[in-house]
A and B are shown apart, each in its own frame.
Chain A
Amino acid sequence: MKRFADALFQTAYLSLVTLFVAFSVIPVVVAVVLSFDARGFVGPFPPTQFSLRWYDRFLADSYYHDGLVTSLVLATSATFIATVVGALAAIGLHHATFRGKGLIQAALLSPLVIPNVVLGFGVLIFASRLGILDGMTRLMMGHVLITFPYVMRTTAASLVGIRASYYEAALSLGAKPLGALWQVTLPLARTGIIAGAVFGFVTSFDDVGVSLFLTDAFTFTLPVAILAQMRANLDLTIAALSVMFIVATVLIIVILDRVAGLDAITGRGVYGR
């Protein structure tokens, strides 16, 4: 009886896992297959003929092209600023002992929980009050805001794992506080900082909510372009785009794994090897 219950439970468990995996993989598979569809309209699945026409369409479309360039420039520079600011904030707060430290921490991390729509609207109002009407500047403000909490979070997490004695050992060996930070703390927190930067980059590249409020007629990000295009005329260029997104993501992961080790990126193995 007990064995039967056990087997039943195991079957149920396996089915659930299988279902979940299928649920997350099937849409990706559908998108990949459809992106090679030769038909000129969104027809029933599976396609009857295959071609690269949607890829051609994407590459030829200057609207997408502009969006991609904006997104890459924006994600790269916003991530850069967010990494510097976020890592410094995390280190500062890690060493701080003053009252109200928790409050500052919560405030700095709040963009993680505040809806992007609210953030986007807020930045829009704030920027116009400051007289900033340029789309790129506005976007940069918004994107730094949504990316730096990631860097701060992951850096803080890796700092907790670094023994206090490393910093103190550096001081006792004659290093000044800044030198100890630069030579010891930062290299040891490196994996956390890189992980935060990667998360931040992806968040920025992927963002619609904040960007929607901050784009102007000439400066728009790729996701915003996709959204606009989808409303205007839904075709399979979006599927082709999705595949390229997937390939890019896989590439980033592979490169990261080669450079830093995926274990390290996800926060483990800081001391192991």
Chain B
Amino acid sequence: MIQSVLDLQHVTKRFGDTAAVDNVTFEVARGEIVALLGPSGCGKTTTLRMIAGFEQPDEGRIFISGVDVARKAPYERNVGLVFQDYALFPHMSVAQNIAFGMKNRGVPARDIAPRIARVLEQVRLPGIEGRRPSQLSGGQQQRVALARALVTRPDVMLLDEPLSNLDAKLRLELRHEIRAILATFDCTSIIVTHDQEEAMGLADRIVLMNKGRIEQVDTPVGLYQRPQTLFAADFIGHANWISGTLARRAAEAGVVETKVGGIAVAPGAVADGPVTLCIRPERLAIVAADAPADTRLAAVVERLDPVGADLRIWSRLGDGTLVQSLEKNVGRALPAPGVGVTLGFKVADCIVLPADGAAR
């Protein structure tokens, strides 16, 4: 069994009457990078603050390397934290910032300077010991903040919205950079973010949160391809929705009765009754009327949106539902708005989800 470095068990935190974090349980294995993903107010930041020790859970336990730290102060846990605003001490040089943690954690004085030099090399900023944080760019501050947290070799690294303060292009670069740095240190890490791309690009696994609860824990690919709730399917990527009623005719496969006809679905765990079907735009295609496809729906093209490498085609189904499909922009002839087309998709690409409010 893989030893888990971080283990949250039924953690709940209430502010007044509302539970900011509601019965949250998950584990993080050694060296793993896990993203806490969700919209603002979903409880991800409160969860992070409880792991760091700035908030205490009302219920539940938090284990770091096997020790219950739920009641311990921040300085009694070996947790590295990178703040959203980096929180580099403005009155100290880069070296003093990095030395701060080592001094407070009792690293011998003669080891401090060499370790500063080494960690700055590891974050690819050698020789900037004497600079002030205000003399650094946003990306450099980010890496110094990482170095400051990593240099004390924490059991767990916590990164709060690490890329939200940077511009779009830098964000992409630093995403790979952060991944590489965390991999160098083989550090167990939690990344809090509201940005699905950030979570997908940085994490081995994603803990998707909504309204204080965990919606789903999965790998980035799994979360996208096998969402288990409407929220998960909606939050990650784009989706087309068709609602209907599931009735299983055989033990394995079933048919969902919808306003645009019966749609065959693959076997799954969702119970008979009201369901919502989710089809990703890139899995929905305009097909020739006689082409082979598992499911076919008649539609009328409404609008074409060029989105760079792709074209997003909006079409209206017979019952008025607007759906989008993604076509590669490779110079193929495209239907004009107002033209009737056939949309096709495979049974395997049609995700069946319990309708909102229905029991899972």
Q: Do A and B come from one complex?
A: yes
B289 beta carbon closer than 8 Å to chain A:
no
Chain B: which residue is nearest A183 at the CB level?
Answer: B100
Nearest CB on A from B111, distance (A) = 15
Whether A49 is near chain B, meaning CB under 8 Å from some CB there, is no
Q: Is B59 an interface residue (CB 8 A)?
A: no
Is A172's CB under 8 angstroms from B100's CB?
no
B267 interface residue (CB < 8 Å to A): no
Within 8 A of B (CB), among A163-218: 163, 165-166, 168-176, 179, 183-184, 187-188, 190
Contacts of A190 in B (CB 8 A): 91
Q: How far is the CA of A272 from the CA of B90 in the complex (A)?
A: 9
- The answer to whether residues A166 and B105 also contact, given A171-B73, A173-B100, A176-B75 and a CB cut-off of 8 A, is no
B134 near A184 with CB under 8 A, answer no
Q: How far is the CA of A31 from the CA of B177 in the complex (A)?
A: 67
- Closest-by-CB residue of A relative to B74 is A171
The distance in angstroms between the C-alpha atoms of A213 and B256, with both chains bound, is: 92
B101 lies within 8 A of A166 (CB) = no
Classify chain A's interface size: 20 to 34
Q: Is the CB of A169 within 8 A of B81?
A: yes
B80 interface hit (Cβ, 8 Å) = yes
Q: Is B302 an interface residue (CB 8 A)?
A: no
Is A273 in contact with chain B by the CB < 8 A criterion? yes
* B90-105 contacts to A (CB < 8 Å): 90-91, 100-101, 104-105
Minimum Cβ distance to chain A for residue B157 (Å):
11
**Cβ-defined contact, B54 with A163, below 8 A:** no
Interface 1/0s, chain A 140-156, versus B by CB < 8 A?
A: 00000000000000000
B265 CB to nearest A CB, Å:
48
Q: How far is the CB of A163 from chain B (nearest CB, A)?
A: 6
The answer for the CA separation of A30 and B251 in the assembled complex, in Å, is 106
Q: Name the A residues within 8 Å of B196 (CB-CB).
A: none
A272–B104 Cα distance when bound, in Å, is: 27
Once the chains are docked, how many angstroms separate the CA of A188 from the CA of B88?
A: 12
Pick from B83, B90, B91, B152: contact of A168, CB below 8 A. B83
Verify B101–A173 contact, CB threshold 8 A: yes
Closest beta carbon of chain B to A29's beta carbon, Å: 42
Complex interface: chain B residues within 8 A of A184 (CB): 89
- Which residue in chain A gives the minimum CB-CB distance to B91? A187
Q: A169 — which chain B residues lie within 8 A by C-beta? A: 81, 83, 87, 89
Q: What's the minimum C-beta distance from A65 to chain B, rounded to whole angstroms? A: 42
C-alpha gap A172/B149 in the complex (Å): 9
Whether B74 and A271, one on each chain, are in contact in the complex, defined by CB atoms closer than 8 angstroms, is no
Give the complex CA separation of A163 and B88 in angstroms.
11
- Give the chain B neighbours of A271 by CB distance below 8 A: 90, 134
Are B91 and A173 interface neighbours, CB within 8 A? Answer: no
**Is B42 an interface residue when CB atoms closer than 8 A count as contact?**
no
Whether, in the assembled complex, B282 has its beta carbon less than 8 Å from a beta carbon of chain A, the answer is no
A184–B73 Cα gap in the complex (Å)?
Answer: 18
Q: Does B79 have its Cβ within 8 Å of any Cβ on chain A?
A: yes
* B75 near A165: Cβ-Cβ < 8 Å: no
B75 adjacent to A171 (CB under 8 Å):
yes
Q: Do B85 and A168 touch across chains, with their CB atoms under 8 A apart? A: no
Name the residue on B nearest A172 (C-beta): B81
**B148 close to chain A: CB less than 8 A:** yes
A171 — which chain B residues lie within 8 A by C-beta?
53-54, 73-75
The B129-152 residues at the A interface (CB cut-off 8 A) are 132, 134, 148-149, 152
Q: Which of B164-191 contact A (CB under 8 A)?
A: none
**Which residue of chain A has its CB nearest to the CB of B81?**
A172
- In the complex, whether B230 has a CB less than 8 A from a CB of chain A is no
B52 touches A (CB below 8 Å)? yes
Residues of A within 8 A of B73 (CB): 171, 176
- A231 vs B328: C-alpha distance in the bound complex, in angstroms? 96
Are B54 and A173 interface neighbours, CB within 8 A? Answer: no
Q: Known: A168-B74, A188-B91, A273-B134. Contact between A173 and B85, CB under 8 A?
A: no
Q: Which residue of B lies closest to A175 (CB)?
A: B104
Choose among A163, A170, A173, A179 the residue with the greatest number of B CB atoms under 10 Å from its CB. Answer: A173
List, in ascending order, chain B residues with CB within 8 A of A170's CB: 89, 100, 104
What's the Cα separation between A40 and B54 when bound, in Å?
A: 72
Task: Write the nearest CB–CB distance from B43 to chain A, whole angstroms.
Answer: 19
Q: A172-B79, A174-B75, A174-B105 are in contact. Are A166 and B100 (CB under 8 A)?
A: no
Closest A residue to B132 using CB positions: A273
B54 — which chain A residues lie within 8 A by C-beta? 168, 171
Which residues from A are CB-within-8-Å of B85?
Answer: 163, 165
Q: In residues 44-62 of chain B, which contact A (Cβ within 8 Å)?
A: 52-54
Point out the residues of chain A lying under 8 angstroms from B75, CB to CB.
171-176
Give Cα distance in the complex from A15 to B20, angstroms: 60
A271 to B89, CA, bound (A): 10
A173 to B149, CA, bound (A): 7
Is the beta-carbon distance between B87 and A166 smaller than 8 angstroms? yes
Q: How far does the alpha carbon of A170 sit from the alpha carbon of B74 in the complex, in Å?
A: 9
CA of A39 to CA of B22, assembled, Å? 87
8 example contacts (A-B, Cβ-Cβ < 8 A) are as follows: A165-B85, A168-B54, A168-B74, A168-B83, A173-B148, A174-B152, A183-B100, A273-B132
Extra contacts besides A171-B75, A176-B73 (20): CB < 8 Å = A163-B85, A166-B87, A168-B54, A168-B87, A169-B83, A170-B100, A171-B53, A171-B73, A172-B53, A172-B74, A172-B80, A173-B101, A173-B148, A173-B149, A174-B152, A175-B100, A183-B100, A188-B89, A270-B90, A271-B90
Q: CB within 8 Å of B: which residues of A? A: 163, 165-166, 168-176, 179, 183-184, 187-188, 190, 270-273
6 closest pairs, A vs B, by CB?
A: A173-B101, A174-B104, A165-B87, A169-B87, A171-B74, A172-B81
